[in-house]
Structure formats: structure tokens, C-alpha cells
Structure 1
């Protein structure tokens, strides 16, 4: 393969058993994207939150996110997860060379960091991504809400977001200069 864009990533999928085994032994790399709408001046006016059910039967708001595949560029992982969660015409504006606003380290043991994932030790690169197109909840998302930064801050403080997603949203808000 002469062109790196033709690199095969689908053959690198792990079976459920292989993934569980890997999660017990090493950190897994993730990306999280806080999708936003911006005005003409680049000011964030809305934040997209997905409503999802968790494995324990709870329901909460989340941001876009998921694993990075073997031999997958970070930019491509962001685009794939945004399309998987918001639809094929979300039209994300991912920079050519994306730089995360934060690095979140999730531990299976609560209290080690503000991030907790009972399944694994994971490291996530966190981004704010402007989306320009029509967004619709996909896959396991029950709904999609566009909220103001003020509403997102309030929801994250009241614990209405699943897992550590409230912390991710507060970091994104702080990054855009919104007081949290």
C-alpha cells in the first residue's frame, strides 16, 4: 500500500473476549469529542449531548466518544465516532492537525482521577469539534439535545451526565472561556 489512507483497520477488531482480556492488562486509547455549534465569530453557542442508557439501566447525557482502532489516525477516529453518533451529514470541522484540549485518564478504581470506567484503564484525548450539518442520534443514542453552555454547565454540576462526561464537558467549557 503506497497511500497511508488505504491502511486496513477493520481486520484489527478484537472479539469481545479479546477486548475483555486486553482491558484487564493494558490501557486502551479513546477519543472524546464535545460537538458544538459556533456563530460567525467562532463563539460556541450550543453543545450537543447524547442521551444514552448505561449497562446498569441508568440514563444520562454523554458526549461523542470511542476507541481508536489499530493503525487509525486520531483525526480519522474522531470523524468515525462523530459520524457513528451524530450521523453521516454532521459535517464535523476537524482540524488538519488536531490537538486535544485535555487528556483524561480513566481508572477502574473510583477516586484515582475524576474519570472512572469500571471496565478498564483507558486514556482519552478530548477535543472540541464544531459540526456544521444536520445531526441525528445514531446507534444506541436515545436522543440528541443542543444546549447552551450555561445549560451544559448546570447539567454537569447536577450530575445529569453519565460517568465522567460531566467532567469532560466542564473541561471543554473552561477551554472556551466559560466560567465553571
Structure 2
């Protein structure tokens, strides 16, 4: 799949129409399907270093399933081995707005993100722009200290994922 839009075209489109994204909470589970750990990325942003979910755009002519796998492989490495069910369903839909105070905030655009919890079975390590992949227990990700290391939008999605997993 070649380039989707040039940076200039993407900037123009972002000002005109909502973009479709996926936000992914990678997890490791035990044999019975109970969540043992949750993977968070450590990334360098313009405003410093922060923890983040796996996230990214759905490209033109790409299925949501393909986007999930592509972003997991981009951030966790090519052998992360995501385990997607035949019928993938988001646990929530996040809406980002370019206006502060109007919900989840993304200064670049209006975006709609389908949010998934995805078990991964393979080896995971930092890839692309990721500095580190760290696995935390559900109890550790519930702490205000760890959530303070994330932008508020990702922290909100993580809390919703914890509720969905019965970990609140």
C-alpha cells in the first residue's frame, strides 16, 4: 500500500472531515483468558515523554482488521502475533475534537476512533517511533501516577478498557 496523502493533503483533509482511527489496548492473558498485563508504549512527543496506547489511522481501502494488525506490528514489532476474533467489535468509540474542552482533544483534527482490547501472544519490543513497550498489571495501570504519564484521552480510554475487562 503506497502513501495515502501527502502531508499537505492530509492537513487539508483534517481541517474538513473527521478521520477514522483505531486505539488499541494490547493485553497478555492467561490460559483462561484473564488479563495478566497491559502493554503501554513509551513515546517521545513534542511536549516530552509519555505513555500511550497503540493508535493510528485507518487508511483508504484498508479494513479495520488490517489497520489493527498494521499498527500493532508497527509499534510492538512484526512478531507481536495479535489474536483477533473472527468478529471484531470495539469496546467503545472515542471522539476527538480540535477544540480544547469539548471532550477528547486532538489539536490536529476531528477524529473518530474505534477502540479495541487485543490479546498479543508473541514477542513485543519497541519498533518505529516507540522508545519502549512496558507491560503493567491491571492494578498498576489503575494508579493515578501511571495514568498521569499518559495524555488524558488515552487515560480515559484505558479506564474504559479496564471496566470492560472487569478490572476496575
The TM-score, its normalising length taken from structure 2, stands at 0.95
* 1:156–1:165 Cα change, 3 Å: farther
1:153 counterpart = 2:142: yes
Contact 1:157–1:166 (Cα < 8 Å) also in 2: no
Distance in 1 separating the partners of 2:145 and 2:90: 20
Instruction: Output the CA distance in 1 between the equivalents of 2:111 and 2:147.
Output: 25
Distance in 2 separating the partners of 1:27 and 1:108: 10
Gap regions ≥5 residues in structure 1: 1-9
Contact 1:33–1:126 at 8 Å: present in 2 too?
yes
Partner of 1:93: 83
From 25, 30, 34, give the equivalent of 1:39.
30
Tell me if structure 2 keeps the 8 A contact 1:50–1:145. Answer: yes
TM superposition shift of 1:162: 2.8
Q: Using a 3 Å threshold, how does the CA distance of structure 1 residues 31 and 156 change in structure 2: closer, same or farther?
A: farther
1:141 is the counterpart of 2:114 = no
**Given that residues 141 and 147 in structure 2 are in contact (C-alpha distance below 8 angstroms), is that contact kept between their aligned partners in structure 1?**
no
Equivalent residue of 1:146, what SS?
strand
Query: How many pairs align?
Result: 168
How far, CA to CA, are the matches of 1:14 and 1:128 in structure 2? 28
Taking the aligned partners of 2:45 and 2:23, their CA distance within structure 1 comes to 17
Structure 2 SS opposite 1:164: helix
Gaps of 5+ in 2: none
Instruction: Give 3-state SS (helix, strand or coil) of 1:120's partner.
Output: coil
Residue 157 to residue 85, structure 1, CA distance change in 2 (3 Å): closer
Query: Which structure has the highest strand share of the two?
Result: 2
Structure 1 residue ranges (4+ consecutive) displaced by more than 4 angstroms after TM superposition: 155-158
Tell whether the 8 Å contact from 1:117 to 1:163 is kept in structure 2 after alignment.
Answer: no
2:108 to 95, 98, 119: 119
**Cα distance in 2 between the residues matched to 1:104 and 1:126:** 7
| TM-score w.r.t. length of structure 1 | 0.89
